[in-house]
Amino acid sequence: MKLSLIGGAIASFGLFANVAQAETEITFWHAMGGALGETVNAIAEDFNASQSEYKLTPVFKGTYEETLTAGIAAFRAGEQPNILQVFDAGAATVIGAKGATVPVQDLLQANGVDFDINDYISGVRYFYADSDGKMIGMPFNSSSPVMYYNVDALEAAGVTPPKTWEEFQSVTAPALKDAGYTALAQSHLPWIFTENFMSRHNLPFATNNNGYDGVEGTKILVNNDAIKNHFKAVQQWQQDGHFEWFGTGWGDNQTPFEEGKVAIWLGSSGSFGGLSQKDLGFDFSATYLPYWEAVTTEPKQTFIGGASLFAMAGKSDAENEATAAFFEFLTKAETQFFWHKETGYVPVTTAAYDLAKAEGYYDEAPAAEVGIQQLSLPAGDNTKGYRMGFYVQIRDVMNREFGRILTGETDVDTAFGKIEDEANALLARFAKTQN
Amino acid sequence: MKRAGFTTHWLPILLLMPQLSIIIVFFYWPAAEAVQSSFYLEDPFGFGSTFVGLENYTDLAGNAEYRRIAWFTVIFTALVTFFSLALALLLAVKADKVIRGARSYRTLIMWVYAVAPPVAGFVGVMLFNQSWGPLTRAFQSLGHDFVLGVNYSDTAFAMVLVSVWKQVPVNFIFFLSGLQSIPKSVREAALIDNRSASGRFWDVTFPLLAPTGFFLLIINITYALFDTFGVIDTLVKGEPGNNPMTLVYKVYVDGFRGNDLGGSSAQSVILMVLVLALTVFQFRLVERRIHYT
């Protein structure tokens, strides 16, 4: 009798304790500034309002690089957030550090959330997965490079958006030049003209299955004729006044397109939101990245850029449960559609894409669909992405050498030789950090 | 005369402790950590690491790009130091002669001192904006197509210009007070001996300013090497690309952007040695030959 009373007291105490700490609080460090940050905050508020068990606090930590560095420093001090946003180039670093994160697939399954990797759009699916196809990071803000064009300029020149680079150089560019435009600019040479060049033409980018099968002995395969010929063509276009390069900064190359000086600009599908909010003074639209017919007659899909969310290790089961709940909320079709519409980033699941179609979103904004359509084109052996360590520095090396090509400081062959040497040296160094 | 002293050894040590502990925690400890991690290649999250001996250093020595950055740093430091000192000296000598409105004239020169390096860099970004920057236009009218962030030497020019602009006020303050501390009697005596103003400046004023000048030389070299980081980061808009950069910026690029802890630690150690050498130079050569009054 007494025992059961005590037992009851303990039970009710436990119950009370549960009520007292009803909300499990989790933190989310991200790199989404400005309008993007406000959208992240809106999603967090919706999540907090949708249930009463968990409370998510998003924290803006600066650029992608700063966010990753802050996350690493915090992890080493045992103060890591529950969720860390890591960008594409940092994926190898965070995935390589086994024990730093809980694979998102394991996390979701352990917490009873239905998970099927095939629910995700094909170009999104495996970028943040391991070599067995297990999803490690949850794709979040995902974008793909697409070709934006000034509709008025192309009409004035009497041309249609080029499907191939051959068409661009023989038809589109000369006509645009006669109409008074610089035909082409782009905003990210490593991403658009290198990584996605490989994917679009289904060329291997690195050994070891593009780096997914392990760091040991991974070598970059960037020094090949297809891409070198592309850069030689770009150089020629530049001399002919068909292409202009405004530096490594993203915005410096986007501005001339917005000012109507450049007719075609290669940017991110995620740039759509920003472009549509501006009063450009001309109509713009978008379509797929051109490809070289000389290289392939069956162009493939591109893969995503942007960033994904990682569940950091070393957290309690209760907090992991909250993280899983947030991921579930985030991948819901409604949340994804909201994110897609607000920012221009692609919806990562087929369900969200179907919802956007059903809501008639693409009837009012057809250009918003291009990124996701391009990500859903046929896949090839080399279209799921790449996994290379110290990739931020490899990109810096590419940017440096590409800049030198376009300022006439070096020639294409020398530059690609240097990129190959320095990238391989960096990959070998990275392999040594993983022992 | 009896020297005042402590009776025990412990009291002075105890009294030094606050200062010492700050130095140890904030300087010696991190410095030792940097030296240690420069011998390793380490996973940024701290899971794996390999002892590689001097490999991080030999990699740097064999890297043509690192040598190019080191060479740029030398030229950049020399230019920034020279122009900051020369312009400040010129302004100080002129300001020293101004009688009417002297105060507002000086304040106008000095207030740039309060501008933070990234803000100074941002002013540079605006002035050299590719499509509407007034200085870009000025260069265009002179027949030079100036493009910040594209052309290596154009970007280097902008970095030197902004860094000098930012540093002149500090030097100006020091030079002006140096000039004003030269006794009037000395100036009057010089006026009788030499009628040429420039002769008087080089024979009398300049040597008397030497202590200030050498002090500023060291300060300016350190400024150009380290404190120009904010200016450079803003002018390259966070994307190193094919832009020029200094050794300190390279440490940041490899360590904080690239998460290569071993490599960037080795670079920091090289910079520490450089600063040590500079300090030794200052104390051994400069301080001995310059006499402070």
Q: Does A416 touch chain B (CB under 8 A)?
A: no
Report CB contact under 8 Å: A249, B52. Answer: no
Query: CB-CB: which of B48, B59, B238 is closest to A433?
Result: B48
- Separation of alpha carbons B107 and B102, rounded Å: 9
Give the distance from residue A63's alpha carbon to the nearest chain B alpha carbon, in angstroms: 10
3-state secondary structure B19-44: HHHHHHHHHHHHHHHHHHHCCEEECC
Query: CB-CB: which of B47, B131, B151 is closest to A99?
Result: B47
How many other CB atoms sit within 10 Å of the CB of residue A363? Answer: 9
- A-chain CB neighbours of B149 within 8 Å are 246-249, 252
Report CB contact under 8 Å: A249, B240. Answer: no
Q: Which residue has the tokens 């499907």?
A: A163
Report CB contact under 8 Å: A400, B240. Answer: yes
Size of interface A-B (CB pairs under 8 A): 125
Q: Does B118 touch chain A (CB under 8 A)?
A: no
Domain ranges in chain B are: 50-289
Q: Does A191 touch chain B (CB under 8 A)?
A: no
Q: Specify the DSSP class assigned to residue A168.
A: I
Q: Write A42-51 long-range contacts (CB < 8 A, 24+).
A: A42/A338, A42/A342, A43/A330, A43/A335, A43/A338, A43/A339, A46/A329, A46/A335, A47/A326, A47/A329, A47/A330, A50/A329, A51/A325
For residue B291, the model assigns a pLDDT of 61
Chain A segment 61-100 residues within 8 A of B by beta carbon are: 63, 65-66, 68-69, 72, 75-76, 90, 93-94, 96-100
Give the distance from residue A156's alpha carbon to the nearest chain B alpha carbon, in angstroms: 24
Q: Could you give the domains of chain A? A: 23-142+304-369 (3.40.190.10), 145-302+389-433 (3.40.190.10)
For A175, phi then psi, to 5°, come to -65, -40
For residue B134, the model assigns a pLDDT of 94
Pick out chain B residues at pLDDT < 70: 1-3, 286-293
For residue A2, the model assigns a pLDDT of 47
- B-chain CB neighbours of A245 within 8 Å are 150
Query: CB-CB: which of B43, B237, B253 is closest to A396?
Result: B253
Q: Among the residues of A280-349, which ranges form H helices?
A: 317-330, 333-343
- B-chain CB neighbours of A252 within 8 Å are 130, 149, 237
Decide if domain B50-289 falls under CATH 1.10.3720.10.
yes
Query: CB-CB: which of B41, B43, B241 is closest to A403?
Result: B241
Computed over its alpha carbons, how large is the radius of gyration of chain A? 24
- Separation of alpha carbons A336 and A350, rounded Å: 10
- Separation of alpha carbons B275 and B45, rounded Å: 30
Assembly ipTM: 0.87
Tens of pLDDT, residue by residue, chain A (435 residues): 444 545 444 444 444 444 445 689 999 999 998 888 999 999 999 999 999 999 999 999 998 989 999 999 999 999 999 999 999 999 999 998 888 999 999 999 999 998 999 999 888 888 999 888 899 999 999 999 999 999 999 999 999 999 999 999 999 999 999 999 999 999 999 999 999 999 999 999 999 999 999 889 999 999 999 999 999 999 999 999 999 999 998 999 999 999 999 999 999 998 888 888 888 999 999 999 999 999 999 999 998 889 999 999 999 999 999 999 999 999 999 999 999 998 889 999 999 999 999 999 999 889 999 999 999 999 999 998 999 999 999 999 999 999 999 999 999 999 999 999 999 999 999 998 887
Q: Specify the DSSP class assigned to residue A382.
A: T
Task: Report residue A220 as tokens.
Answer: 């970059």
